[in-house]
Structure 1
């Protein structure tokens, strides 16, 4: 296999697997109805086993929670003069897709100081479908990257105010994608697959200032996925291996009941995307490196709860996160990056003494990033265009108290 072919195939595989390195709290952490505000400090249901294990000490009885969620992405690509191997195809392409999701959480208080929990959820993933008429189909037609975490945890109440928690994270990642090279001699349509199981940890704390105010903190460690798989093509089927980083993340949140019916919520956090400078790909006996040059991102969110009646609570929030990469020449078709804004609302209804239901909707605005990706493979060319990206999240979270 030529080095050029390795660069092409390697860059395609790595970039699409890397879609999972986007950390979407909507797939696991919950508090979607407040755009993530207060997620590490609310600690009122079994979902705290994922958001902040230390918060499990606040639960007096065993609780089980499950989430049923739908995701619809709207990702329009508008071409702006692509050339060379990227010159053929539609002038505009819809790459959005729909994805169902779910999560399960359980917390068991052992006594008034010790609690155990487990969460089965996801920290990130991506489903994209450009189709074969996309001008960048040489790089990507469709991809599915899914991660699932199983995280057992334990929490201990050190003092009346301070609780700490620790958890083990077992994360499985699976990639399947299609990309094509009809404009490039010697490389036809290809299907790539790979999977990996990696382990990490969670550290957390909850400090209860008083009955109306508390602050929570969670650190989730980095997971390095060594995805191993293969590529199926018409002419050859090489083995492939590459390293994908799910970066570490740290978030602090606050919960403040400022009036009998009003509670203010906030969060601030950091994601260690600067660990991703390059991606190394090995195909048979050939290795290629793909430039990333991502930067750390910072997030901020603000939200509120309003207790409308004893049974109904209204919720809302807004979220902002900085961009890991703004340079169009460093963008790729898998996850065009930019600043992120989230706008959310929802409501919680107490069905009875044992069941609680939380309904939510969130819109994620990923902005209008530009791409100018250049390849020297074959005759070369530049994929040049602009994106307009938004994602809709909606669902229901149920909590059962035993």
Structure 2
């Protein structure tokens, strides 16, 4: 009886808050085009990170190359309560939920012959990390959560001719979820801990076309990866098996690179992400199952960037990016991933250390806008409660990418 009661309590809380903790995709973690805010990533073949950004473009390398990235991510997530009611009343008026974490990635490209090239990338395509603390007005729904993903992406490219190449890759992605719900201050609703992990698979398809000596375009499609994060829900010392569905949606990117002068190049990218796949969140426990509508929409993005060659050693880089919001209705917002429009500003510099080593230093500012939440629990009952407030969100990515040519 105790197990069944805990299942019902946990289910009612989890379906109200979870399973999209990785809905945002972060190309910053894998494609390494942060200095131009993503612009041109699929149309450039300069380093081993090409194995992730556009495997088809690996055909441009005639010697092995290797790269590794050391990155830091710092988020600022500020919540201002605007009159929460019921069980959500009494929390802090202001809550800072930002966090920080280190990130790393590795890439390698190996030419096989004049037609085939192989590569591998060890990186991440996205995730989420948020920590409100126990005094957040919505701590009954979420105190802290992290969804971390890492993928191994081997791929090959085939060079049709001097202008056109195609690429295909396999993706093995590990997803790991940890989440804590603070419970009610009176102890009636217990604290709940959720864990889960999943290894799932996808693929990439890509192409690369050189229009002429100064203009080239690239395209990459990364398939959806559907994680069933199997783990446990623990409360009051008892545990139940759980399964929480997290979709890393498919995405398509088209990029161009255009050498305007000997010193200046312009690049652009257009993107689409299949967020409409995240229409509902299924949650399954040992003795109960349920789901909640999320009603996300597909997003489109556009970015433009520039490279300016200062001299034979130094190149300056910058770019700007915009992406539409997957959900603007505050009644569909949840504390795990507050959503809104995204703006990015990137800047950086590349330095040719010698004939083998190239260093790229970068910084990107991501502004996720101001969004509102009006989540109602137990609607229509005497215990009806509404979490109501506003978010202001930005993130900072900075790091060093090191490329080595054998």
Given the two structures, how large is their TM-score scaled by the length of structure 2? 0.96
**CA shift digits 1:266-322 (9 cap, x unpaired):** 000100000111111111121111110000000100000000001100000000000
| 2:394 corresponds to which of 382, 390, 393 | 390
Please list, as runs of the form range in 1=range in 2, the aligned pairs for 1:1-400 lying within 5 A after superposition.
1=4, 5-11=9-15, 15-183=17-185, 186-234=188-236, 236-376=238-378, 379-400=383-404
CA distance in 2, matches of 1:243, 1:98: 25
Residue 4 of structure 1, CA deviation: 5.3
- What is the aligned-residue RMSD (CA, Å)? 1.4
Are the aligned partners of 1:324 and 1:338 in contact in 2 as well (CA < 8 Å)? yes
Residue 22 of structure 1, CA deviation: 1.2
CA distance in 1, matches of 2:84, 2:114: 63
Are the aligned partners of 1:10 and 1:282 in contact in 2 as well (CA < 8 Å)? no
CA distance in 1, matches of 2:262, 2:352: 18
Are the aligned partners of 1:55 and 1:163 in contact in 2 as well (CA < 8 Å)? yes
Paired residues, what number? 400
Residue 184 of structure 1, CA deviation: 6.9
Q: Please, which runs of 5 or more residues in structure 2 have no aligned partner?
A: none
Are the aligned partners of 2:11 and 2:285 in contact in 1 as well (CA < 8 Å)? no
Given the two structures, how large is their TM-score scaled by the length of structure 1? 0.97
Residue 10 of structure 1, CA deviation: 2.6
Deviates more, 1:277-286 or 1:367-376: 277-286
**CA shift digits 1:196-239 (9 cap, x unpaired):** 00000000000011111100000000000011010111153211
Are the aligned partners of 1:17 and 1:145 in contact in 2 as well (CA < 8 Å)? no
Residue 185 of structure 1, CA deviation: 6.0
Q: Secondary structure at the match of 1:45?
A: coil
Are the aligned partners of 2:11 and 2:288 in contact in 1 as well (CA < 8 Å)? no
Residue 6 of structure 1, CA deviation: 4.5
Are the aligned partners of 1:105 and 1:117 in contact in 2 as well (CA < 8 Å)? yes
CA change 1:9–1:240 in 2 (3 A) is farther
Are the aligned partners of 1:65 and 1:106 in contact in 2 as well (CA < 8 Å)? yes
Q: Please, which runs of 5 or more residues in structure 1 have no aligned partner?
A: none
Q: Which residue of 2 aligns with 1:401?
A: 405
Residue 155 of structure 1, CA deviation: 0.3
Q: Secondary structure at the match of 1:301?
A: strand
CA distance in 2, matches of 1:96, 1:338: 16
Q: Secondary structure at the match of 2:41?
A: coil
Q: Secondary structure at the match of 2:83?
A: coil
CA distance in 2, matches of 1:329, 1:279: 15
Residue 396 of structure 1, CA deviation: 0.4
Are the aligned partners of 2:21 and 2:246 in contact in 1 as well (CA < 8 Å)? no
